[in-house]
Chain A
Amino acid sequence: MSTLSTQPPAPPRRTANRGISDLALRNLFIIPTVAFLIVFNIFPLIYSLGYSFTDFAANQNRPWQFVGIQNYRELLADEQIWTNFVITAKYVIVSVAGQMLVGFGLAMLLNRAFAFKGLVTTLLMLPMMMSAAVVGLFWQLLYSPSWGPINYIVGLGDFGLLSDADTALYAVAITDIWMWSPFVMLLSLAGLSAVPKHLYEAAAIDRASGWYTFTRITLPLVSPLLLIALIFRTMEAFKTFDLAYVLSVQPTTELISIKLYRLAFQQWDTGRSCALAYIVLIMVLAITNIYVKYLNKVKER
């Protein structure tokens, strides 16, 4: 007995202390999320797929009718929709290419030690923290030929970048580049700082040129992260609505998402707008898939 009394008290059983099992904890976190996703995401997704085969109009009290693939057929044969897709494609290419170049360039500049590096990096990230509607509103002022500084600085005179039908889309893309380059910069910076220093040291010993080091060491090692940035930005640019909607009312800047909004919430052509939403979804999925396949290849290397 005496020996027993000298022993330290047995530690309480772990399960009793936890009060809630791992399984319960997992369920506690996952079930609300899954329920939320099902109610607000999956269910409307399936519901709208059903609507896309009907002539349902949310603003009318008449019963809807099943119209088969008529909505899809008419949309894909509609010249205006293709114009919207071409505008969107142009916008995605210009805007994403610009962001990749500017973002990666900034990351290269920041990937070295200098005074106030943290502050500069934070300041450079400010644009992407703002609301797109606010960015749109103040860039509208910046672009104004009457009181905006851009025309004054660039010397454009009375030429309105946003008021000219041919340049308006590029003006919107420039704003998007300004706003989202920091995102690419952030991902590139993460990639750049992960490149092992000894590779650069070895290259220096071998007297490799700057270009050679960049193309053989930096770019291949950063490319998986760059591709992720590219995927995100392409998907986002494809869906751009707010920025373009606030900045311009030119028909030449009517991106597919703006067209979709007008069809759904101004004309209340619910069935057809659901079909268009599905066409857009399939396109985004297809483009993303190509990227993801390529990303996997890059990773395997």
Chain B
Amino acid sequence: MLRRHFLFTTAGAALALSGAFTAPVSAADQELNIFWAEWDPANYLQELVNDFTKESGIKVTVSTTPWSDFQTKTFAELNAKGDSYDLIVGDSQWLGVGSEQGHWVDLTDFFTKHDLKNKFLPATISGYAEYPAGSNKFWAIPLEGDVNGWAYRKDWFEDPKEMTAFKAKYGYDLGVPKDQKQLRDIAEFFNRPDQKRYGVALYTDNSYDAMAMGVEQTIFTSGGSLGDYASYKVDGVVNSKESVAGLQAYHDLFKFTPPGWNKAFFAENNQAITEGLAAMSMNFFAFFPALANPKTNPHAAATGFFANPPGVGGAKFAALGGQGVSVVSYSKKQDLAMKFLEWFVKDETQKKWANLGGYTCSKAVLTSPEFLKATPYNQAFYDSMSIVRDFWATPEYAELLDQLNKRIYPFVISDKGTAQEVLDSVVKDWTATFNKYNRYKK
């Protein structure tokens, strides 16, 4: 009896299981799964797509994973040609690997059909959608525009005593820094460890791209560069006088960060403001809503925002964040995914997206006075979005990032070596990597 019972149970379970895999699943056919990192904009997106479900009957789920795991999980799925996700809101650096390895569906026709080149800000098209640069081939729809900016303590800056002391020491008025030199001066001025007050909060986490974003932004504003992305030339560019000065400037700014600031990314940098630790804090605009909200920031009323100031030579740049949404080529529901994108690029959807807290890249919404006045940081966001510049988007970007991280971290954090030595080593590493991928044989 027992044996028979066991056999029946096993057979039943096997049948049930096979049924789950083979039976027509009409409900699941009408479902889309979007993958993104775990942060507030992903929640806003889930809220937004509920409207799409109401209109079309297609259920959309926004699945998330922590930032530190985002890249690994995405590529583990894509390399296995998995169809768990129909759409992925991917980082700008992934365009190269996504397009060259066939992970992303070519959206060039979709771009032309909807005239998206004129609909979105040019910087977001080249940042999140086009690969290779200038090729007019598009792989993603700009979804969340983002850029590195600054938050600062308005009350400290506007304190008459501080203003007088600052002017006496530096010879000019204390205010939002007009260039990188002033940014450094202000950081130095407010750095008072005895009062538990520090000058500046910077990105220092090197497990993904945080520190690289901070450093590249400073290198760009110094007139330096991370290389010629078209010809892969790095020698004499990455280690140029200007690039070296940029890295040195970041290293010097690090001296004015709070103690133990050696693994800081967006959470720590927002904390620097909410805890009253730092006068200025570098962060992506996507994290600024939390600083403008009195519920999450006790100093919300006294927190101001500004775009990354130009270098002394006048170069104006900010590190590009943000993501575009791509259709996964292994998805079996590409038709539904395209339907979703058609809905997403509509003007009214983009407007709703902005209202929910998402950073739309739609020109019409971004330039409207309504948007610019909606929050204390929207104007700075718009200003920053027009000066964006990004890291390498070549398929081997992850190796480049790892090599850069490994070289710059000991210099910035532990004062090991010189900026010139560091960037010379980066040139050596990157040249070897580009040789490995035959980038110079074209």
Tally the A-B contacts, defined by beta carbons under 8 Å: 86
Does B101 lie within 8 Å of A266, measured CB to CB? no
CB contact list, B1-38 vs A, under 8 A: 1-3, 6
Chain A residues near B258: list those with CB within 8 A: 145-146
B-contact 0/1 string along A65-106, CB 8 Å cutoff? 000000000000000000000000000000000000000000
Nearest B-chain residue to A157, judged by Cβ = B259
Q: Is B409 an interface residue (CB 8 A)?
A: yes
Query: Taking A165-B414, A267-B398, A267-B402 as contacts, is the C-beta distance between A145 and B3 under 8 angstroms?
Result: no
Cα–Cα distance between A267 and B1 once the two chains are bound (Å): 56
User: Which of B259, B398, B399 makes the CB contact (< 8 A) with A145?
Assistant: B259
Contact partners of B207 in chain A: CB under 8 A: 245, 249
A2 interfacial contact with B, CB 8 Å: no
Does the CB pair B76–A19 fall under 8 Å? no
Closest residue of chain A to B211 (Cβ to Cβ) is A249
Contact B262 A249 (CB under 8 A): yes
Which residues of the partner chain B approach A160 to less than 8 Å between Cβ atoms? 259-260, 262
Contacts A59-B97, A146-B258, A249-B262; is A20 near B6 (CB within 8 Å)?
yes
Question: Residues 254-287 of chain A: 1 if any B CB is under 8 Å from the residue's CB, otherwise 0?
Answer: 0000000010011110000000000000000000
Whether a CB of chain B sits under 8 angstroms from the CB of A24 is yes
Contact in complex: A144, B79 (CB < 8 Å): no
Interface residues on A, range: 20 to 34
Per the bound structure, the CA–CA distance linking A18 and B2 in Å amounts to 8
Q: Is A118 an interface residue (CB 8 A)?
A: no
Instruction: Kindly state the separation between the CA atoms of A189 and B206 in the bound complex, as whole angstroms.
Output: 42
How distant is the Cα of A164 from the Cα of B101 in the complex, in angstroms? Answer: 40
For A162, list chain B residues within 8 Å (CB). 260, 262-263
Q: Does B205 contact A (CB under 8 A)?
A: yes
B72 touches A265 (CB 8 A): yes
Further pairs besides A61-B102, A158-B193: 12, Cβ < 8 Å? A28-B6, A59-B79, A146-B275, A158-B259, A163-B413, A165-B416, A249-B204, A249-B207, A265-B72, A265-B75, A266-B398, A268-B79
6 nearest CB pairs, A to B: A160-B260, A19-B2, A163-B262, A145-B259, A158-B259, A145-B260
Could you list some 27 contacts between A and B, CB below 8 A?
Answer: A18-B2, A20-B3, A59-B101, A60-B395, A146-B196, A146-B258, A146-B259, A146-B275, A146-B277, A147-B275, A148-B260, A158-B259, A158-B260, A163-B260, A163-B413, A248-B262, A248-B263, A249-B205, A249-B206, A250-B262, A250-B414, A251-B409, A265-B76, A266-B398, A267-B399, A267-B402, A268-B79
